[in-house]
């Protein structure tokens, strides 16, 4: 009599928690990509503190021309956002970053040529402005490219962490680059800036050559303005909250002078330290509590900090207000960004990131003239009260967006 035996089909082992990438592994992958953001913003930071003086004192142009020369970079970044997003989606994130780094190399060469033509002020200025425009386009390409690359590498569920680390790399690089640029110019002369920009970007190009990229996502891509319309409500909330950032960084020195205080630089330091520490320590809270809830909590903290600055009777209160404002502002960008990127398909991810960044650019562009007019008519203390009101408006808009998202889920 034959014995029939039944063999269970072989099944693949269930994934265990240990097989999933660890938090440290994910962070290291992100850091290895946002390294190129660090290089780009280091190149942006090196000339930021010394170029106005070069245009005004060495070339002999007015302070207005010096300001326009610096501002040309940010205008180029703003106007190139649609192109940067489209390029990142269509040719790939790595190639977009390569184009950006190449632009920085050219910007460094033009900056060097400009300093060598110092005895010919007008040609020197025009060449310098072209270099600044290239640097601005490069900023847009690399900023969008690195975040999109991170999302493709570690997954969209880590969008907040990708945006946060990209921000830490950019702010940290400018904090290092600005004083380093002053030292370089005093020790080596203005020509050292152009050389440094080209060498740093050239070294990054060599390092990125063998780094594996993520594949381009195939499929139908939305037009940029269609993406912009989907992102706009979230971007508007970001703009309303971020005007406080532009207000503090632009006017804190004049606010201190109007009060007869000293040590405005310490206020900026406290703001920056709290901003970066909050991103490092609390970034996981966005995944835990959701983008909307995190943004709402942070806007409340930011508003409290701005109100403290408005009412500050002495510098210790101003320092506490600056710290709270930095803490609150730190997670608004990534928290609302998580919700904004959900509104566009993966094939238009780069365009979505670009559209979202436009609103932050606009907030910084608006903060100067808007709060300058407020200060002129109502005094420097009032600018923080107005910034707090705008932050409350952003909070109200975010509450409406959360309610709409909750209603659509049912």
Q: From its phi and psi, is residue 133 left (phi > 0), alpha (psi between -120 and 50) or beta?
A: alpha
Residue-wise DSSP of 194-229: HHHHHHHHHHHHHHHTTSPPPPPPPS----HHHHHH
Over residues 361-374, mean pLDDT:
81
Lowest pLDDT segment from 103-107, 158-162, 323-327, 388-392? 158-162
Using pLDDT thresholds of 50, 70 and 90, give the confidence band for residue 3. Answer: very low
Using pLDDT thresholds of 50, 70 and 90, give the confidence band for residue 21. Answer: low
159 vs 5, more confident: 159
- Closest C-alpha among 151, 41, 138, 150 to residue 87: 138
Is the pLDDT assigned to residue 389 strictly greater than 90?
yes
Per-residue pLDDT tens for 116-167? 998 888 999 999 999 999 998 998 889 888 888 888 787 777 777 888 888 8
What is the C-alpha separation between 331 and 47, in angstroms, rounded? Answer: 28
Is the pLDDT assigned to residue 305 strictly greater than 90?
yes
Using pLDDT thresholds of 50, 70 and 90, give the confidence band for residue 219. Answer: low
Percent of the chain with pLDDT strictly greater than 70 = 92
Q: Where are the domains of the chain?
A: 26-208, 224-409
Over residues 376-404, mean pLDDT:
90
Instruction: Report the CATH fold assignment for 26-208.
Output: Growth Hormone; Chain: A; (1.20.1250)
Residue 10: predicted pLDDT: 44
Over residues 276-302, mean pLDDT:
86
What is the C-alpha separation between 299 and 304, in angstroms, rounded? Answer: 9
Using pLDDT thresholds of 50, 70 and 90, give the confidence band for residue 292. Answer: confident
Percent of the chain with pLDDT strictly greater than 90 = 23
What is the C-alpha separation between 342 and 24, in angstroms, rounded? Answer: 25
What is the C-alpha separation between 57 and 234, in angstroms, rounded? Answer: 43
Residue 396: predicted pLDDT: 93
- Name the helix (H) or strand (E) containing 146: helix 121-154
Using pLDDT thresholds of 50, 70 and 90, give the confidence band for residue 70. Answer: confident
Residue 11: predicted pLDDT: 42
Residue 226: predicted pLDDT: 85
55 vs 113, more confident: 113
Residue 1: predicted pLDDT: 39
Using pLDDT thresholds of 50, 70 and 90, give the confidence band for residue 14. Answer: very low
Using pLDDT thresholds of 50, 70 and 90, give the confidence band for residue 217. Answer: low
Q: How far apart are the first and last CA of the chain?
A: 62
For 151, counting Cβ atoms within 10 Å of its Cβ (0-12 exposed, 13-18 middle, 19+ buried), the class is buried
Residue-wise DSSP of 6-75: --PPP-PPPPPGGGSPPHHHHHHHHHHHHHHHHHHHHHHHHHHTTHHHIIIIIS---HHHHHHHHHHHHH
Q: For 224-409, CATH number?
A: 1.20.1250.20
What is the C-alpha separation between 188 and 160, in angstroms, rounded? Answer: 40
Over residues 290-318, mean pLDDT:
91
The residue to which tokens 């970053």 are assigned: 97
- Asked whether the domain spanning 224-409 has the same topology as the one spanning 26-208, the reply is yes
pTM attached to this predicted model: 0.77
332 vs 407, more confident: 332
18 vs 349, more confident: 349
Q: Burial code of 258-269, b = ≥16 C-beta within 10 A, e = fewer?
A: ebeeeebeebbb
Where do the H-state alpha helices sit in 222-313?
Answer: 224-259, 264-282, 284-289, 291-311
Mean pLDDT of the chain: 83
- Name the helix (H) or strand (E) containing 82: helix 63-91
């Amino acid at each position: 009599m034959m014995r029939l035996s039944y063999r269970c089909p072989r099944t693949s082992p269930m994934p265990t928690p240990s097989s999933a990438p660890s938090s440290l592994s994910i962070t290291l992958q992100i850091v290895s990509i946002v390294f190129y953001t660090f290089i780009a913003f280091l190149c942006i930071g090196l000339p930021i503190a010394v170029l106005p003086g070069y245009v005004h004192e060495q070339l002999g142009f007015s302070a207005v021309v010096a300001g326009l020369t610096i501002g040309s970079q940010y205008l180029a970044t703003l106007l190139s956002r649609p192109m940067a997003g489209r390029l990142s989606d269509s040719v790939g994130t790595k190639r977009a970053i390569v184009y950006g780094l190449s632009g920085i190399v050219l910007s460094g060469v033009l900056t060097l040529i400009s300093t060598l033509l110092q005895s010919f002020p007008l040609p020197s200025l025009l060449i310098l402005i072209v270099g600044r425009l290239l640097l601005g386009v490069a900023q847009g390409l690399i900023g969008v490219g690195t975040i999109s690359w991170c999302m493709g590498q570690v997954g969209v569920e880590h969008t907040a962490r990708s945006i946060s680390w990209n921000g830490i790399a950019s702010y940290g690089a400018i904090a290092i680059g600005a004083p380093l640029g002053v030292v370089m110019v005093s020790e080596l002369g203005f020509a050292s800036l152009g050389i440094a920009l080209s060498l740093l970007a050239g070294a990054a190009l060599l390092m990125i050559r063998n780094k594996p990229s993520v594949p381009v996502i195939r499929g139908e891509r939305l037009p940029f303005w269609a993406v912009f319309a989907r992102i706009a409500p979230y971007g508007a909330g970001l703009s309303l909250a971020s005007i406080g950032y532009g207000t503090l960084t632009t006017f804190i020195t004049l606010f201190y002078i109007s009060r007869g205080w000293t040590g405005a630089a310490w206020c900026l330091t406290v703001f920056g330290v709290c901003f970066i520490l909050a991103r490092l320590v609390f970034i996981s809270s966005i995944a835990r509590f959701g983008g909307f809830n995190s943004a709402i909590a942070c806007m409340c903290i930011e508003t409290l900090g701005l109100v403290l600055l408005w009412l500050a009777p002495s510098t210790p209160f101003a320092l506490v207000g600056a710290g709270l404002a930095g803490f609150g502002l730190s997670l608004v960008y990534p928290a609302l960004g998580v919700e904004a990127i959900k509104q566009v398909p993966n094939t238009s991810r780069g365009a979505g990131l670009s559209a979202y960044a436009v609103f932050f650019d606009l907030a910084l562009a608006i903060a100067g003239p808007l709060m300058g007019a407020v200060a002129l008519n109502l005094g420097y203390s009032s600018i923080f009260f107005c910034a707090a009101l705008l932050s409350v408006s952003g909070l109200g808009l975010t509450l409406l967006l959360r309610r709409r998202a909750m209603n659509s889920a049912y």
